[in-house]
Each structure stands twice: as structure tokens, then as C-alpha cells.
Amino acid sequence: MENVMKIECPSELLLGLHVNIERLAEIVKLEAAIALFRKGKISSGMAANWLGISRVTFLFKEIEQGGVLLTDSVDDFRRETKLL
């Protein structure tokens, strides 16, 4: 069973963004998936599945939006290289 969410949208928003309602729905869905992923609420795989794209494609979209996937610190680097 699919759940459907209804969001009111003034015509001025569509005109200002130069998009139709379907495109705005895609934009909002992508932005929501990225925000939930960044907050750690959903995994990249779950976000990708929700958007109907591959996980790699989602991660590229996340990076395009300024996301940082690897945030290793100097301490992380030392811990990992110590194992070599």
C-alpha cells in the first residue's frame, strides 16, 4: 500500500520556480530524502528506493547538493593506518 501526502502549493510558487506541479513534487521529494538522509533518519538505500533511483545515483545527487559522505578526522586516519 502506498501512502500519499497532499501539500498545498500556491500558483505563484510554480510560476516563480518555472516548473509544473509534477516537477515541483519531484524537487520536494528529492530535497526531503536528502534532508532525512543527512539527519540520519533514513539510509541512502532507503532514500534511493523511495526516489526510484539507484543508491549510487542518490549519493551523487547528495554530493551535488553539497553533502560530504566521508568526514574522517585525523584521529580516524591514524586509527585506520595503524592497522596496516
Does residue 34 form part of some domain? yes
The span from the CA of 2 to the CA of 4, in Å, is 6
23: cell is 516537477
Give per-residue pLDDT as tens, 41-72: 999 999 999 999 999 999 999 989 888 776 66
The residue segments making up the domain with residue 51 are 11-82
Domain membership flag for residue 77 = yes
What are the backbone angles phi and psi of residue 20, rounded to the nearest 5°?
A: -90, 175
Cβ-contact 59, 37 below 8 angstroms: no
Return the SS3 of 70: coil
- Asked if residue 6 belongs to a domain, the reply is no
Question: Is 80 exceeded by the pLDDT of residue 26?
Answer: yes
- Give the chain's domain count: 1
CA 64 to centroid of chain Cα atoms: 10
In a domain, 48, yes or no: yes
CA atoms within 13 A on the CB side of 9: 17
Reported pTM: 0.77
Q: What is the pLDDT of residue 13?
A: 95
- 1 within a domain of the structure (yes/no): no
